[in-house]
């Protein structure tokens, strides 16, 4: 074996034996560095004859290439091993619990959600949304709505009153959202299409009544809207709101001072272990009152009942929220128990839309 | 309004089954609330005879009976515990499988103390027909064995209860209900008319009506020589079936007329009445012992009937005890009158009397029936009690107005959207007692006296449509038109909605609290004004309209803490009241945080646990303001907040001192004490109405984005300043050095403590300098930095930290 071959064997063995990148670098310097063994051999070429230089030069360069490749290959292996060793020391405990995202923990109250659902449906039908104050005058809450002074119909509304003012008149808490109808008719000209959601009050407190509750009122005034349209709107609303393909509704004649004819509306349902299914079953659940706006109400709002006509309805938001979402007890809506709110409430990103579904 | 099926059939000739009649009633506006059908519930109970009753071998108090259940069946063995079970007794039997209403169980075959029992002998209580549970029922010996008990006992008459709307006074009597049903094709109204009973002598009692507005009509007659005793069995049964107690014939007649004809009457024992009668206002200090056994103190708002000694009756509401009829009555005065509806309602409310008479008079009885009602009552009195009638005294002028409505037939189609043929309209109206004249297009419709609720065209439309059936009105699609689809929410509605979602997205839970709170709590938050106090609150802690959402939220947080949930973050967006006018009602957004419910992360957690603090409340308030579209750059934060907040740990958010948008901070310990809540509690309040409206933009396009080609440079500075110096002042000073170049200044460290003078603190800021036209040289950057140091030290008295 020549000296060159021996040297090459030695260097390759040293490369293979290098345990880390520093040791490998030392081998490289010893072989290929300025004073390295292979560099030294290359330096001897200048003193050789041209023929000898040709053969020896080629042989040394071959050995140098081999060493260079071996160095590179060994470096890759060592680098990879070092990375593996580092990563092996960097393990974390992936079973540690996450912190609940705020948007997962926060809740929208079912009443707020249902108000949005209702507004979304009626907005799509071309209704604007109107609001009025909770503290009303007797005139707007009763008289202009054709509740004559002293009429027993006033007693159907157990009214919260404030103390009389200096002029003897007393304000009250609105017993229904209907005064917003009056405010709307007095402030804008027909055609009118509005829904009026809001809080209402009656002196009542038991399992099915709370002293405050919520309604949404609807009002249409123009030159041709009649009971047939009213029935259609309410039918479309109920299908959309309860998110069912069909629903059976029963319209019954009834009495409200501010509508004539007046109707009450029931929906058919089946109750089964606390669950309610619509469009089937034997039960009729009353969900709203409605009718053609009484001519006296139109007159009280400076609208000629022989030229204009229209209809109105009012429904309990609390009630339809309970029906849709299976809430058993009305009073829980105002108890603000965080366990209840977490269960029946909605996540902040669950925004009701018609395109995406009201509650999906 | 309650009545039985057989009672209805006295007025309606019909073969329709009960279910159909009930459905029809509901569908024409007389909503059937309940049908009590004892015959149906008691169908399985039959009449049986006890053949033998032997002592039970293993129980002293039980007997083993053999029972003949009739129909040729073999005797049945029944173990019975009733003391009256004995051979020969006829009683009521139920076989296994029968539901026993009084016990709410379904009977099975049982073995009682080793002896098999194949049925039960029943007490009246078990059938829920009385409260008698002392023993099994004892029927007459000739009762038919094997027959249904209910049918034999005459319980086969279902009771209907109608939820009557206040406009239909005519249906407070069975006759009116029958009339409606006849119009709806459910049978023929039985109306033989009422023949006057001729008086045989002048009525000796004179009547004076002092105020005709309180009493538009009054009719009276005397029947002499009556014998008052129990009324006939059929009448007693009628009254009992709807829950009234039979008293005596004269009183029962008035109750019958009330329910049968919607005509309340009153009967006085003529021998207990002194002299003539006067209808007048009561005098202060007068009182009356009424028929309900209570004494009522009267005043001039109340209309009474008095004789020469004093008040004898609360007009139209309830009679007096002293002049009432009993079994010794021989001369009876029958009164049939008309009363002012409003006065009756007010008096009834004031005295707290809910009588059948008040119920009808406050709805307005048929004025034209005042005298015929008296005639019918006279006839019944003579029929049941004999006697000789006087002439009738009538005070008042006309009874009932002539209401004639010009009715365009097209109104039905216009308002109800349904075509009804003229013949059909005529038929319906005629059955309801309306008279129709003319053949169109505009007819004249005369309204019957008993329909005081019908005044105009729309009322006639209702009559036609309710009888035709609202279900027949075809649904008609409602076109939304070709108007542009515009947003429908108002600014405040939009702010309300966004505020809720923003707060919920911060991990807070939405509460809905009462609009009314206690006066002390209202006062704590600047409320409690006289104009916002309810005159008739439902409870003393729900007496005043809330000036803030916070008392309700704090109470809710405390209630949750009491349940074991201390770390809560609650918010509410809702109405608050600062006065009783519409412009003084605002929409506020408020929230509270307690314990580990921090905006930095909820609850205790391995990655770090934060207790909520005043700046969490600031962050909540800012989230609301940003979501609601407030001009964030224009907001000023002023140290200190409302009186209900901790003075040192609170702030006010404003746009100039005139427009305070809200407050945030830690609740004042005194507030917590007054609200009975455990602290510390962080709270904020933002009034959404106070946010200035954004300018309307002409286009939806966003402004052109300017991106700099040059890298921004960041420089850090730490200043030692007095503890009282506000970080906001340092930031503002640095920013003011060059508003164009300096695009951001942020505080990244605040330090107090070791290595620093105890009266000082260190605040470190990072300043971002954004070159606009060219890369800045080191000298240029150093120049800006020097200016920042100079400006901050000048404005705050601080020094650059070495």
Residue B357: which pLDDT band, with cuts at 50, 70 and 90? Answer: very high
Residues A17/A24, Cβ–Cβ less than 8 Å: no
> Could you report the per-residue pLDDT of B711-750, keeping only the tens digit for each?
999 999 999 999 999 999 999 999 999 988 999 999 999 9
A158 against B314, higher pLDDT: B314
Q: Which of B480, B514, B568 sits opposite A334 (nearest CB)?
A: B514
Q: Do B601 and A99 touch (CB under 8 A)?
A: yes
Residue B449: which pLDDT band, with cuts at 50, 70 and 90? Answer: very high
Q: Do A227 and B563 touch (CB under 8 A)?
A: no
Q: Report whether pLDDT(B166) > 90.
A: no
Q: Where are the alpha helices (DSSP H) in B317-421?
A: 341-351, 356-361, 370-385, 410-416
Q: Do B515 and A160 touch (CB under 8 A)?
A: no
Q: Which of A220, A228, A295 sits opposite B417 (nearest CB)?
A: A228
CA neighbor of B326 nearest in space, from B389, B266, B221, B248: B248
CA neighbor of B618 nearest in space, from B596, B598, B595, B644: B598
CA angle B7, B11, B13 (to 5 degrees): 105
Q: Using CA atoms, how far apart are residues B738 and B728, in angstroms rounded to an integer?
A: 17
Mean pLDDT of B622-641: 95
For testing contact with chain A, the best of B488, B531, B541 (most A CBs within 10 A): B488
A325 touches chain B (CB under 8 A): no
Find the farthest-apart pair of alpha carbons in chain A and give their distance in angstroms, rounded. 135
Cβ contacts of A250 on chain B, cutoff 8 Å: 471
B106 against B664, higher pLDDT: B664
**A31-40, A203-212, B745-754, B782-791: the lowest-pLDDT one:** A203-212
Cβ contacts of B601 on chain A, cutoff 8 Å: 99
Q: Using CA atoms, how far apart are residues B787 and B734, in angstroms rounded to an integer?
A: 9
Q: Which of B26, B168, B607 sits opposite A252 (nearest CB)?
A: B26
Q: Do B490 and A129 touch (CB under 8 A)?
A: yes
> Could you report the per-residue pLDDT of B91-131, keeping only the tens digit for each?
999 988 888 888 888 888 888 888 888 989 888 888 877 66
Mean pLDDT of B584-606: 93
Q: Report whether pLDDT(A88) > 80.
A: yes
The radius of gyration of chain A from alpha carbons, rounded to an integer in Å, stands at 43
Q: Do B416 and A264 touch (CB under 8 A)?
A: no
For testing contact with chain B, the best of A123, A160, A247 (most B CBs within 10 A): A160
A143, containing H or E segment: none
Supply the pLDDT for residue B659.
95
Mean pLDDT (chain B, rounded): 92
Which are the contacts of A108, defined by CB distance < 8 A and separation ≥ 6?
A345, A346, A347, A348, A350, B500, B501, B504, B510
Q: Report whether pLDDT(B636) > 90.
A: yes
Cα of B449 to nearest chain A Cα, Å: 19
What percentage of residues in chain B have a pLDDT greater than 70?
Answer: 99
**B:65-124 residues touching chain A, CB 8 A cutoff:** none
CA neighbor of A239 nearest in space, from A69, A117, A136, A97: A117
Supply the pLDDT for residue B85.
86
What is the Cβ-side half-sphere exposure of residue A241, based on CA atoms within 13 angstroms?
A: 28
> Could you report the per-residue pLDDT of A343-357, keeping only the tens digit for each?
999 999 999 999 988
Residue A187: which pLDDT band, with cuts at 50, 70 and 90? Answer: very high
Q: What is the DSSP letter of A37?
A: H
Other beta carbons within 10 angstroms of residue B300's beta carbon come to 11
Cβ contacts of A305 on chain B, cutoff 8 Å: 458
Q: Using CA atoms, how far apart are residues B615 and B664, in angstroms rounded to an integer?
A: 8
Residues B799/B719, Cβ–Cβ less than 8 Å: yes
Find the farthest-apart pair of alpha carbons in chain B and give their distance in angstroms, rounded. 129
Q: Using CA atoms, how far apart are residues B69 and B71, in angstroms rounded to an integer?
A: 7
B662 burial type by CB count under 10 A (0-12 exposed, 13-18 middle, 19+ buried): buried
Q: Do A295 and B456 touch (CB under 8 A)?
A: yes
Supply the pLDDT for residue A296.
95
Residues B266/B254, Cβ–Cβ less than 8 Å: yes
Mean pLDDT (chain A, rounded): 91
Q: Report whether pLDDT(A207) > 80.
A: no
Supply the pLDDT for residue B132.
67
Q: Report whether pLDDT(A1) > 60.
A: no
Mean pLDDT of B529-555: 95
B478 touches chain A (CB under 8 A): yes
Cα of B515 to nearest chain A Cα, Å: 8
Supply the pLDDT for residue B131.
66
Residue B252: which pLDDT band, with cuts at 50, 70 and 90? Answer: very high
Q: Using CA atoms, how far apart are residues A236 and A51, in angstroms rounded to an integer?
A: 104
**A66-80, A275-289, B372-386: the lowest-pLDDT one:** A275-289
**B:392-451 residues touching chain A, CB 8 A cutoff:** 413-418
CA angle B236, B239, B240 (to 5 degrees): 80
A333 touches chain B (CB under 8 A): yes
For testing contact with chain B, the best of A119, A201, A345, A348 (most B CBs within 10 A): A348
Q: Do A252 and B31 touch (CB under 8 A)?
A: yes
Cβ contacts of A299 on chain B, cutoff 8 Å: none
pTM for this model (two decimals):
0.86
**A:35-64 residues touching chain B, CB 8 A cutoff:** none
Supply the pLDDT for residue A39.
87
Q: Is B49 left (phi over 0), alpha (psi -120 to 50) or beta?
A: beta
CA neighbor of B28 nearest in space, from B432, B470, B447: B470
Q: Which of A135, A232, A335 sits opposite B477 (nearest CB)?
A: A232
Supply the pLDDT for residue A59.
87
Cβ contacts of A127 on chain B, cutoff 8 Å: 488
Q: Using CA atoms, how far apart are residues A254 and B466, in angstroms rounded to an integer?
A: 9
Cβ contacts of B168 on chain A, cutoff 8 Å: 255
Supply the pLDDT for residue A307.
96
Supply the pLDDT for residue B356.
94
Q: Report whether pLDDT(B383) > 60.
A: yes
- Give the SS3 label for residue B90: strand
Q: Using CA atoms, how far apart are residues B766 and B783, in angstroms rounded to an integer?
A: 16
Residue B645: which pLDDT band, with cuts at 50, 70 and 90? Answer: very high
The radius of gyration of chain B from alpha carbons, rounded to an integer in Å, stands at 42
B378 touches chain A (CB under 8 A): no
> Could you report the per-residue pLDDT of A145-177, keeping only the tens digit for each?
998 876 766 766 689 999 988 888 889 999 999
Mean pLDDT of B426-449: 93
Q: Which residues of A167-203 are buried (b: 16+ CB within 10 A; e: fewer)?
A: eeeebbbbbbbbbbbbbbbeeeebebbbbbbbbbbbb
Please state the ipTM of this predicted complex: 0.89
């Amino acid at each position: 074996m020549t000296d060159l071959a021996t040297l090459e064997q030695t260097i390759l063995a040293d490369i293979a034996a290098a345990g880390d990148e520093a040791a490998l670098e030392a081998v490289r310097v010893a072989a290929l560095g300025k004073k390295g063994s292979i560099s030294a051999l290359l330096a001897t070429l200048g003193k050789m004859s041209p023929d000898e230089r040709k053969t020896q030069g080629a042989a040394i360069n071959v050995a140098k290439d081999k060493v260079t490749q071996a160095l590179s290959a060994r470096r890759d292996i060592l680098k990879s091993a070092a990375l593996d060793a580092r990563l092996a020391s960097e393990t974390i405990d992936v079973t540690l619990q996450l912190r609940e995202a705020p948007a997962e923990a926060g809740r929208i109250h079912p009443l707020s959600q249902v108000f949005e659902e209702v507004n979304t449906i009626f907005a799509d039908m071309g209704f604007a949304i109107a609001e009025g104050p909770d503290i009303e005058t007797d005139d707007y809450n009763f008289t202009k709505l054709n509740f004559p002074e002293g009429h027993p119909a006033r007693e159907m509304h157990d009214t919260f009153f404030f103390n009389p003012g200096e002029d003897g008149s007393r304000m009250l808490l609105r017993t229904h959202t209907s005064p917003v109808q009056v405010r709307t008719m007095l402030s804008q000209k027909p055609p009118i299409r509005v829904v009026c959601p809001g809080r209402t009050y009656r002196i009542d407190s038991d399992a099915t009544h709370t002293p405050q509750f919520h309604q949404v009122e609807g009002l249409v005034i123009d030159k041709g809207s009649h009971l047939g349209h009213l029935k259609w709107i309410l039918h479309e609303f109920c299908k959309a709101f309860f998110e069912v393909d069909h629903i059976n509704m029963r319209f019954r004649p009834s009495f409200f001072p501010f509508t004539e004819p007046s109707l009450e509306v029931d929906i058919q349902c089946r109750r089964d272990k606390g669950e309610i299914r619509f469009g089937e079953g034997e039960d009729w659940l009353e969900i709203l009152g409605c009718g053609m706006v009484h001519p006296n109400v139109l007159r009280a709002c400076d609208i000629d009942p022989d030229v204009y006509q229209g209809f109105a309805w009012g429904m309990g938001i609390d009630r339809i929220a309970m029906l849709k979402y299976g809430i058993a007890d009305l009073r829980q809506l105002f108890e603000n128990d965080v366990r209840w709110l977490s269960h029946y409430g909605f996540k902040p990103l669950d925004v009701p839309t018609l395109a995406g579904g009201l509650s999906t | 309004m309650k009545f039985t099926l057989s009672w209805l059939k006295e007025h309606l000739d019909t073969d329709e089954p009960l279910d159909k009649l009930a459905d029809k009633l509901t569908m024409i506006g007389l909503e059937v609330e309940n049908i009590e059908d004892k015959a149906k519930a008691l169908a399985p109970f039959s009449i049986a005879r006890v053949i033998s009753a032997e002592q039970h071998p293993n129980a002293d108090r039980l007997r083993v009976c053999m029972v003949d259940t009739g129909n040729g069946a073999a005797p049945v063995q029944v173990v019975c515990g009733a003391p009256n079970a004995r051979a020969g007794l006829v009683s009521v039997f139920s076989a296994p499988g029968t539901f026993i209403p009084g016990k709410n169980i379904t009977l099975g075959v049982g073995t009682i103390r080793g002896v098999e029992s194949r049925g039960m002998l029943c007490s009246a209580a078990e059938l829920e027909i009385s409260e008698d549970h002392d023993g099994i029922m004892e029927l007459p010996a000739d009762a038919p064995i094997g027959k249904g008990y209910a049918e034999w006992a005459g319980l086969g008459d279902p009771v209907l209860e109608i939820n009557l709307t206040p406009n239909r006074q005519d249906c407070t009597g069975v006759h009116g209900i029958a009339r409606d049903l006849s119009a709806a094709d459910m049978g023929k109204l039985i109306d033989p008319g009422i023949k006057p009973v001729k008086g045989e002598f002048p009525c000796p009692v004179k009547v004076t009506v002092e105020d005709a507005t309180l009493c538009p009509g009054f009719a009276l007659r005397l029947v002499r020589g009556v014998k008052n005793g129990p009324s006939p069995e059929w009448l007693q049964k009628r009254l009992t079936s709807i829950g009234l107690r039979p008293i005596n014939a004269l009183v029962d007649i008035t109750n019958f007329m009330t329910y049968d004809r919607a005509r309340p009457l009153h009967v006085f024992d003529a021998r207990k009445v002194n002299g003539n009668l006067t209808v007048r206002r009561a005098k202060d200090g007068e009182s009356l012992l009424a028929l309900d056994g209570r004494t009522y103190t009267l005043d001039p708002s109340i209309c009474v009937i008095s004789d020469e000694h004093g008040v004898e009756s609360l007009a139209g509401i309830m009679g007096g005890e002293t002049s009432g009829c009993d079994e010794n009555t021989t001369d009876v005065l029958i009164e049939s009158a008309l009363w002012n509806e409003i006065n009756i309602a007010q008096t009834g409310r004031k005295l707290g009397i809910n009588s059948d008479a008040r119920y009808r008079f406050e709805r307005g009885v048929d004025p034209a029936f005042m005298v015929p009602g008296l005639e019918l009552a006279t006839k019944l009195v003579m029929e049941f009690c004999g006697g000789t009638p006087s002439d009738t005294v009538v005070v008042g002028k006309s009874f009932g107005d002539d209401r004639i409505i010009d009715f365009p037939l097209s109104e039905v189609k216009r308002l109800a959207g349904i075509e009804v043929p003229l013949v059909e309209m005529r038929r319906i109206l005629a059955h309801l007692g309306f008279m129709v004249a003319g053949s169109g297009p505009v007819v004249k419709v005369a309204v019957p006296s008993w329909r005081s609720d019908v005044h105009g065209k729309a009322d006639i439309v209702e009559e036609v449509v309710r009888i035709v059936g609202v279900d027949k009105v075809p649904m008609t699609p409602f076109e939304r038109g070709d108007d542009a689809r515009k947003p429908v929410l108002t600014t405040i509605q939009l702010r309300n909605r966004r505020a809720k979602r923003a707060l919920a997205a911060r991990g807070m839970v939405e509460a809905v609290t009462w609009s009314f709170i206690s006066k002390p709590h209202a006062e704590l938050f600047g409320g409690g004004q006289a104009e916002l106090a309810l005159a008739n609150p439902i409870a003393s802690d729900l007496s005043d309209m809330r000036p803030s959402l916070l008392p309700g939220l704090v109470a809710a947080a405390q209630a949750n803490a009491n349940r074991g949930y201390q770390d809560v973050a609650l918010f509410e967006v809702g109405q608050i009241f600062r006065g009783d006018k519409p412009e003084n009602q605002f929409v506020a957004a408020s929230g509270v945080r307690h314990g580990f419910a921090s905006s930095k992360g909820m609850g205790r957690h391995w990655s770090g646990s934060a207790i909520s603090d005043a700046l969490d409340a600031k962050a909540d308030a800012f989230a609301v303001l940003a979501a609601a579209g407030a001009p964030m750059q224009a907001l000023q934060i002023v140290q200190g907040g409302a009186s209900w907040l901790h003075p040192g740990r609170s702030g006010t958010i404003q746009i100039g001192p005139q427009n305070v948008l809200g407050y945030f901070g830690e609740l004042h310990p005194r507030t917590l004490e007054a609200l009975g809540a455990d602290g510390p509690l962080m709270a904020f309040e933002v009034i959404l109405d106070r946010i200035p409206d954004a300018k309307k933009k002409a286009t939806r396009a966003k402004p052109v984005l300017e991106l700099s080609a040059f890298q921004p440079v960041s420089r850090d500075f730490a200043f030692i300043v007095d503890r009282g110096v506000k970080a906001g002042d340092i930031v503002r000073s640095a920013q003011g050095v060059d508003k164009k170049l300096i695009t951001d200044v942020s505080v990244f460290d605040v330090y107090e403590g070791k290595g620093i003078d105890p009266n000082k603190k260190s605040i470190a800021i990072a300043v971002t300098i954004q070159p606009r036209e060219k890369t800045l040289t080191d000298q240029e950057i150093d120049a800006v930095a020097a200016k920042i140091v100079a400006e901050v030290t000048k404005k705050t008295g601080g020094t650059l930290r070495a």
